[in-house]
Amino acid sequence: MLGSLFTVGLNYAFNPKKEKVFRIEHSNQAPALISRYDAHDTPGPDFTGAAERVMPTVVHIRSTQLRPSGRGATPNLPEAFRDFFGDEFFFGPGPQRSPGQPQPAIGTGSGVIISDDGYIVTNNHVIDKADDIEVTLHDNRTFKADLVGVDPSTDLALLKIEGDDLSAVTLGNSDDVRVGQWVLAIGNPFNLNSTVTAGIVSAKARNINILRDQSAIESFIQTDAAVNPGNSGGALVDLNGNLIGINTAIASPTGSYSGYSFAVPVSIVRKVMEDLLQYGTVQRGYLGVIIRSLDATLAREHDLDITEGVYVDSLVSNSAAEAAGIEKGDVILSVDGTPVRQSSELIAAVGTRRPGDKVELQVQRDGKEKTFEVTLRNREGNTELVAEAELSVLNELGVDLAALDRDELKVLGLDHGVKITQLRPGKLSRETDVREGFIITHIDGEKIKSPEDVQKVLADKKGGVMMEGRYENYPRTFYYAFGM
């Protein structure tokens, strides 16, 4: 296995009292330069200043998940089961669950304080499915943390604690990071608190295909700083002590450090955190293109005279790229003047923009360079930002839904239904064993024909809920029960 994410534990809730403004310190400092040393000097760079500045900003995260035994779907549930539902009764999976006390599953990781009023960034997989999140500071103070929001597509999460005299990291500029420069990784590997390791940046814009989200953005900073389980969510900083990434994964056949680690660049971190705070969800702009990194083989196949760039294989109907005039066979060379040599760089550049933002694409077509201004759209094909109120029910459930077209319904033998395309932290993942791909046909007996129907049925619902539907390869009906 190329990389290992150290999943530790789920909760998906929005802090109703969250403030709308971060107090984040940004740095315009250039990366620290290391002078050459002669025989009379102490060899090697000095890491002590950066380590002393950053260690107080890195926290230890303990996440606890309580999963009752016997949870899951109950196929062909009798109609009489509905009689048990009432506003006072809170169900988990259904009447056939076996009794037993919840068994805690405890996981640990790291996080970084990014503002002095208590906002903390970490990896989504560090707090995934956690019922309780506890944060311990460098000075051993301990706090309960609220989960503000998550973004599985970048494996990031935002927490909030209430405390005084908090030290916040300074955000650097990951776009200015250079291959070969020194960096420090700070976190809590194997529960060894406040561990500092050093290495160099080995590569940028690395895609290792480790995130399962359908809209995943992988443009990692690769380093050879030692990172192990427990470092996830910790800081990657330059020698000025500026945050340039959040350590997320390692390339390892064993699950422990074997030479390379990967961090989410702070340019992505900053945008995700701002969106979670302001909107309650990440606002992501899309070009609407199917792409491949250009290489010599692909260039020969299409008789191209360049070997770097992003090749447009096809376009999504009603997409931003299509509307702007981008065509199949174009090679995208830059975004707003910044070169994109591979698909991960293009995905990251566009992923830090919101629907309605304009980007300038330079492309090569038929041997000539052209420039296009593209107004990015959302996944639904328009430029509207998604309002937090519209997402409240789906966020509470922890799902992304998609309507099925006529052909899909015909194959399934259905005349209505919506598919769960993604499970996120929420009620369904906490209280049921529903899986991605489940097709919801009814909720409390009401037909579900669109994602909007789910929101309407559950908007003011209190108490038990019965959801029924099918999986594509299983003809029988499955029932899932949960509480609102």
Which residues are catalytic, by number? 125, 155, 232
Q: Are 10 and 130 in contact (CB under 8 A)?
A: yes
Would you give the DSSP letter of residue 377? B
End-to-end CA distance of the chain: 39
Q: Which of 326, 333, 287 is nearest to 307 (CA)?
A: 333
DSSP conformation letters of 74-109: EET--GGGGGG--TT---SS-TTPPP-PPEEEEEEE
SS3 label, residue 286: strand
Q: In angstroms, what CA-CA distances link 175 with 184, 267, 349?
A: 17, 7, 10
Q: Are 330 and 363 in contact (CB under 8 A)?
A: yes
Return left, alpha or beta for 70; rule: phi > 0 is left, psi -120 to 50 is alpha, else beta.
Answer: left
CA diameter of the chain: 86
Q: Are 159 and 145 in contact (CB under 8 A)?
A: yes
Q: Which of 133, 115, 143 is nearest to 123 (CA)?
A: 133
- Rounded-to-integer distance, Cα 348 and Cα 220, Å: 9
Q: In angstroms, what CA-CA distances link 200 with 51, 204, 221, 267, 440?
A: 15, 11, 10, 19, 49
Query: At a CB cut-off of 8 Å and minimum separation 6, what does 163 contact?
Result: 118, 137, 141, 143
